[in-house]
Homo-oligomer: A and B are copies of this chain.
C-alpha cells in the first residue's frame, strides 16, 4: 500500500481535560469525557514520500512551518519505530474545523493521523492502543479515536499504556450540539499556555482533580440512563469550574469574549422558557450548546436573533475514525 486516507471527528469534552501530569507523555491530571461530533472532522492522506528524504506536510493546501512539521515528524517517528519502516512520508490534511478556534482541530487531526499511520505502517493497533499514541500529538485527540460518549482514563503513574480512551455509550439517541462560533481567528493564548499558567498561579486549581472525579462519577450513570438534564447540568458546571480556575490565575485571564456571555445568557433564557439546553466552553471563546438534537433547530432560531446563521452549526454525534480510501 502506498497511500491511505482517514477521516476522524472532533470531540467536545463534557468533563474537561485541563492539566498534564507528564508533559512529555501527555498524561493528564484527571480523566475526562467527551461527545464526538459528526460535523467537524479532519481528513488526512498519508503516503510514502518519493519526492523528498524528509517528511513533508500540507494543511488545507498550505505548507506548514518548520515547528509544525517537526512536531508531526516526531509523532510519525513513533510508528516508524514500531514498524521498523524508516521511510519519509507526505501528509496532506484537510480540516473541516476552524483551526485553533477552540473547536479542538488538533483532536481530529491527530486522531486521523494516528489512524492513517497505523494503516500505512501496518502496525495493526486497536483503537484503544492507538488512542495512547494519538494522545502524544494532542491530549484531546485521545478521545477522537472513538465516537459517541468517550472516556479518556487518566491512567497510572508514568505508564503511557494506562491512559487510553474508551467509548461508554454510542450516543445513538436524541442528543447533539449547536456550536456558536464567536471567533474563527486564531486564539491569542493557546490552551497549552493557558493550562500551564493556570496550574502555576491559580489557587483554585488544586481542587480541580477532586471536582472532576465527582463530576465523572455522576455523569457516567446519567449517560447510561439517558438523563439529559443531569448530563447537561454536570457538563455546564464542570466547564464553568474549569473557566473559574483560569479566571483566578495571576495575572487573571479568560478565554471568554463579550459574545460568549451573550451566548451563555441565551442558553439560560432558553432554559427558563422550558427548553433544556446547557453550554460548555473550551480554551477559546466559542460556546457549544448541548441539546436534544430534535430541538436544535428551535434553539438555533433563538440564537439567530443575535448571531448570523453562518456562525451557528448543528451537529449530531460522530463515530470513530474511518478509512475513506
Binary per-residue interface labels of chain A (201-229) against chain B in the complex, 1 for a CB within 8 Å, 0 otherwise: 00110110011000000000000000000
Q: How many residues of A contact B (CB 8 A)?
A: 28
- Is A197 in the interface zone, CB < 8 Å from B? no
Number of copies: 2
Q: Which of chain B's residues has its CB closest to A258's CB?
A: B258
Interface stretch (choices A43-51, A54-62, A101-109, A246-254) = A246-254
B-contacting residues, A229-265, CB 8 Å: 233, 236-237, 240-241, 243-245, 247-248, 250-252, 254, 256-262, 264
Partner of A252, one of B211, B236, B250, B251: B236
Q: Which of B207, B250, B257, B259 contacts A203 (CB 8 A)?
A: B207
A contact patch SS: helix
Residues of A within 8 A of B (CB): 203-204, 206-207, 210-211, 233, 236-237, 240-241, 243-245, 247-248, 250-252, 254, 256-262, 264
Nearest 9 interchain pairs by C-beta: A258-B258, A240-B252, A244-B248, A244-B244, A204-B204, A244-B247, A241-B248, A237-B250, A258-B261
20 new A-B contacts at CB < 8 Å, known A203-B211, A233-B250, A237-B248 = A203-B241, A204-B204, A204-B241, A204-B244, A204-B248, A206-B207, A233-B251, A236-B252, A237-B250, A240-B247, A240-B248, A240-B252, A241-B248, A244-B244, A244-B247, A247-B247, A254-B264, A257-B261, A258-B258, A258-B262
